[in-house]
Chains A and B, each alone.
Chain A
């Protein structure tokens, strides 16, 4: 983290937030600095993923204020963040379309993304390369391939804030290693909030916070 980037990029003030009759945050305040890598841990069902959705603007707090890169409007917050979820959400589209999701991406940039996520090892073997339609084959993708596409999608968005929701939880050890390498490219010089129960993946992170009992604490 650069010293000049020492400003708070995410600020939550007196946030109370319930989800499905469960209190996730009870009047909690927190702040994350630009370029900071934060790990979020907690028991199963403690609300880690829900907290991430709150930060992404997908859910709204019951009370309190949330500001992400000086924005508090959820629609604008969403534009500031990129997210990789536990489920890669591969759509019935081509690999290229799954990455771009309707955005214009230049060929050179797409090639960079494909290489960075090591998707080229797979797509080069396909007759239609990254223009292979995944409609019928989406279910046949390995967990690693699907997550690489999700990571490529996040890299393509090029947002300053990256939210990771257990992106490797359903993968085996070897695939986790490969996917983590792809993630390194994504999170380099970005602000990262990584929810996981695999604490070994959070080595080198600036802070590790815990969620539970309506609190978020170090």
Chain B
């Protein structure tokens, strides 16, 4: 976190600009969604679409596009500037410390350049601001929905939380199989590597048949675990696919009742449909984002020589 704070501090203007533009682009998209709801309400009530409404929507669309473009541009630029700061800080620290004076120190420093720096830079460029943007979208969507219709929001939140818990539970079922599959793959990759590097030994000690059988055994073991992983994964995906439709079904059921009772307009339901998707994506991805952020912070902390 210390390194991350330092990077933000050194690029504070760009970071603040990114936050502001991200907020504005999300809000402009929400406003667009609200106006889509208004159009649907007008159509449902067989009212004509006013020129003013259409012009306003055109302006909102243009503003929204401008904000999305500028927020993307600035966030990528900020990420690159932060990655640049990270690399420069690393070199400055390396030159001012005695870390590179011995061979081991130099080796560790090189290892950091190759692993931590590249992983951190890549994460900043490709993931960090996307996660930031989607998290903000989710939070703003939740606040907006609560203000729009607190009852309906709370009703659809229940299956969403169930979906998140189920997703986490199903993920835990797959994780050991993913690890087992990777370990098996590492083993047969090692065998191949040994065959290449130790080919003379294999020849001299007449071990070709032994290694062929060994490789076949390892390959079969890997295939077995991989098949099991895919089978469990398919079951999990189907379950999670069905579960992920639950909030939508609940929204339709609750929304229809509210519409019949005159407590919600059709446009309002469309807004809910749109915003619920944003919220669901955020909720479902939060655990994996948290994990990726944690490993990003670890990589960053290891960049300090």
Contact = CB atoms under 8 A, between A and B. Distances in A.
A78 B190 contact: no
Given A89-B194, A91-B191, A135-B190, A79 B200 contact: no
Interface of A: 53, 56-58, 78-79, 81-83, 85, 87, 89, 91-93, 101-103, 135, 153, 157
Contact of B204 (A83, A87, A91, A102): A83
A157 B194 contact: no
Interface string B153-188: 000000000000000000000000000000000010
Given A85-B200, A102-B207, 16 more contacts: A53-B200, A57-B203, A58-B200, A58-B203, A58-B204, A78-B204, A82-B204, A89-B194, A91-B198, A101-B202, A101-B206, A102-B210, A102-B213, A103-B210, A135-B190, A153-B201
Contact of B210 (A87, A101, A135): A101
Contacts of B200: 53, 56, 58, 83, 85, 89
B114 interface: no
Contact of B198 (A57, A81, A89, A157): A89
22 contacts: A56-B204, A58-B200, A78-B203, A79-B206, A82-B204, A85-B200, A89-B194, A89-B198, A89-B200, A89-B201, A91-B194, A93-B214, A101-B201, A101-B202, A101-B205, A101-B206, A101-B207, A101-B210, A102-B210, A102-B211, A135-B190, A153-B205
Interface string B199-230: 01111111101110110000000000000000
Q: Nearest 4 pairs between A and B by C-beta?
A: A102-B210, A89-B198, A101-B207, A92-B190
Nearest to A102: B210
A83 B194 CA distance: 17
B197 interface: yes
Contact of A102 (B187, B190, B198, B209): B209
A81 B210 contact: no
Contacts of A82: 204-205
Q: In which size bucket is the chain B interface?
A: 10 to 19
A79 B206 CA distance: 7
A121 to B, nearest CB: 24
A81 B206 CA distance: 11
B205 A157 contact: yes
Contacts of A157: 205
A103 B204 CA distance: 13
A57 B200 CA distance: 10
Contacts of A135: 187, 190
Contacts of B201: 83, 85, 89, 101, 153
Nearest to B193: A92
Nearest to B198: A89
The CB with the most chain A CB atoms within 10 A, among B201, B203, B206, B209, is that of B201
A191 B261 CA distance: 101
Nearest to A74: B203
A102 B191 CA distance: 14
Given A91-B198, A102-B209, A81 B191 contact: no
Contacts of A57: 203
A53 B200 CA distance: 9
Nearest to A81: B204
A85, A87, A92, A153: residue with the most chain B Cβ atoms closer than 10 Å: A92
Given A101-B210, A135-B187, A92 B194 contact: yes
B20 to A, nearest CB: 50
Contacts of A79: 206
Contacts of B206: 78-79, 101
B197 A89 contact: yes
Contacts of B198: 89, 91
Nearest to A83: B204
B157 to A, nearest CB: 46
Nearest to A163: B204
Contacts of A53: 200
Nearest to A56: B204
B273 to A, nearest CB: 51
B243 to A, nearest CB: 38
Contacts of B207: 101-102
A91 to B, nearest CB: 4
